[in-house]
C-alpha cells in the first residue's frame, strides 16, 4: 500500500492532469478547423436516399464554451489542490474546512452549553432541557452501537444496567473519561492454559453455574479446578476485577452471548472490544452533558422523559 502514497504518484497525477488539459485544447483547435471533404462539403455518407452527413466545424460559441471550461480548470488548479501533491495558493484542505465548520458550530452552541458547564451530575440530571440535549447527542453519536434504547446488543454494552453491573462506567466521571479517551478491552485466548477441549467445555459449564444459569453439574464440577487459569483476572469466585477490566461472571450479564458455545469461543479465541475515543467529535461541554445523560440512564429514578 505504501507504493500508492509516495511522491512519485503525485507527480504522475500532476502530469496526467496538465497533459489532459493541453490535449483538450489541442482537440478543440483541431475540431474548429474547416476542411472541405467534397464539393458539397459532405463526408460521402448518405442515409435514406437523401440524408447527407456534412463536415461542418463546431459552432464558435460551443468551442469557446469548452475553452472557457479548460481555462477555468487551470485557474481552479492554481488556487486549490489538484495537481498531485501541490497544495494550491489558497492552501485549502477538506480537513481544514471541516475543522473550521466545527469551530463555527461550537461557537454558535457555546451559549447553550454555558449554563451547564459548572453543574454537577445530580444537578444536571435534574434539568430536563439538559437531558433532552443529552438524548439528542446520544442518538447522534452513540445509538449506532448501543441502540436507540441504550440497551446495547451482542458486543455492545447495555447502558441501562445498574452501576454495579457495568465494567468501567460506575460514575459520570468514568463515563466522561471513557467518551473522551475510548477504551480497549482484551481477553487473551486461554484454551492452552485451561487444558484440553474437554477441559474448556467443563470450564464453560462452571462459568454458567456461577450465575445460576442452566448447566451440566458434573461438567461444572470438573471445570472448577481448571477455572484457576481464569481466576487471575476474574477472581477465584468469578466476580471479576474492574481494575483489570475483567467482567463479573456471576451477574448474568453476557456481553458476547450466553451459553456453552459462546463461552467456549471466548476461552478459545479470546475477545477484543473497542470503544473509540470521541474527543475530536464532541466539545468538552457536550461530553459533560452526554456523560451525565448516559449515567442517568442507569439510575433507579430518572428525569421525566428519559
Q: What percent of the chain has pLDDT over 70?
A: 94
Residues 6+ apart with CB under 8 A from 38: 44
CA distance 77 to 85: 12
Phi, psi torsion values for 9, nearest 5 degrees: -70, -35
The whole-number average pLDDT for the span 51-61 is: 81
pLDDT at res. 304: 46
Burial class (CB in 10 A: 0-12, 13-18, 19+), 272: exposed
The dihedral formed by the CA atoms of 7, 9, 11 and 13, expressed in degrees to the nearest 10: -140
The whole-number average pLDDT for the span 272-283 is: 90
pLDDT at res. 38: 62
Q: Rounded mean pLDDT of the chain? A: 88
pLDDT at res. 257: 86
pLDDT at res. 190: 94
The whole-number average pLDDT for the span 28-54 is: 78
The HSE-up count of residue 219 (CA atoms within 13 Å, CB side) is 17
pLDDT-derived band at 128 (thresholds 50, 70, 90) equals very high
The whole-number average pLDDT for the span 111-130 is: 92
Q: What is the pLDDT of residues 146-155, one digit of tens each?
A: 999 999 998 8
Q: What is the pLDDT of residues 259-268, one digit of tens each?
A: 999 999 999 9
The whole-number average pLDDT for the span 101-119 is: 88
pLDDT-derived band at 2 (thresholds 50, 70, 90) equals low
pLDDT-derived band at 43 (thresholds 50, 70, 90) equals confident
pLDDT at res. 36: 61
pLDDT at res. 5: 62
- The greatest distance separating any two alpha carbons of the chain, rounded to the nearest whole angstrom, comes to 105
Characterize the bridge pairing of strands 183-187 and 51-54.
unpaired
Q: What is the pLDDT of residues 152-174, one digit of tens each?
A: 998 899 999 887 777 777 789 99
- Of the listed ranges 5-19, 98-112, 115-129, 218-232, the least confidently predicted one is 5-19
pLDDT-derived band at 135 (thresholds 50, 70, 90) equals very high
CB 229 within 8 A of CB 187: no
pLDDT-derived band at 305 (thresholds 50, 70, 90) equals very low
CB 59 within 8 A of CB 91: no
pLDDT at res. 306: 47
> pTM here?
0.69
pLDDT at res. 32: 76
Amino acid at each position: 500500500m505504501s507504493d500508492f502514497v509516495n511522491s512519485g504518484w503525485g507527480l504522475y497525477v500532476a502530469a496526467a492532469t496538465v497533459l489532459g488539459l493541453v490535449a483538450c485544447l489541442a482537440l478543440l483547435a483541431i475540431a474548429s478547423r474547416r476542411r472541405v471533404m467534397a464539393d458539397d462539403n459532405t463526408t460521402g455518407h448518405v442515409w435514406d436516399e437523401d440524408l447527407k452527413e456534412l463536415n461542418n466545424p463546431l459552432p464558435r460559441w460551443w468551442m469557446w464554451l469548452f475553452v472557457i471550461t479548460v481555462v477555468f480548470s487551470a485557474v481552479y488548479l492554481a488556487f486549490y489542490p489538484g495537481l498531485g501533491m501541490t497544495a494550491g495558493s489558497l492552501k485549502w484542505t477538506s480537513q481544514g474546512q471541516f475543522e473550521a465548520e466545527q469551530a463555527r458550530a461550537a461557537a454558535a452552541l457555546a451559549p447553550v452549553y454555558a449554563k451547564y458547564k459548572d453543574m454537577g451530575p445530580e444537578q444536571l440530571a435534574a434539568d430536563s432541557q439538559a437531558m433532552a440535549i443529552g438524548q439528542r447527542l446520544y442518538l447522534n453519536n452513540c445509538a449506532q452501537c448501543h441502540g436507540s434504547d441504550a440497551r446495547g446488543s451482542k458486543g455492545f454494552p447495555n447502558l441501562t444496567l445498574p452501576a454495579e453491573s457495568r465494567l468501567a462506567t460506575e460514575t459520570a466521571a468514568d463515563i466522561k473519561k471513557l467518551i473522551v479517551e475510548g477504551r480497549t478491552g482484551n481477553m487473551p485466548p486461554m484454551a492452552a492454559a485451561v487444558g484440553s477441549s474437554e477441559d474448556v467445555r467443563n470450564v464453560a459449564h462452571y462459568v454458567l453455574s456461577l450465575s445460576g444459569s442452566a448447566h451440566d453439574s458434573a461438567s461444572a464440577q470438573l471445570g472448577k479446578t481448571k477455572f484457576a487459569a481464569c481466576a487471575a483476572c476474574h477472581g477465584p469466585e468469578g466476580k471479576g476485577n474492574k481494575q483489570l477490566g475483567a467482567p463479573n461472571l456471576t451477574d448474568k450479564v453476557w456481553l458476547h452471548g450466553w451459553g456453552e458455545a459462546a463461552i467456549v469461543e471466548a476461552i478459545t479465541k479470546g475477545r477484543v472490544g473497542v470503544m473509540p475515543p470521541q474527543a475530536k467529535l464532541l466539545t468538552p461541554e457536550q461530553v459533560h452533558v452526554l456523560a451525565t445523560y448516559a449515567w442517568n440512564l442507569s439510575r433507579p429514578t430518572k428525569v421525566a422523559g428519559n
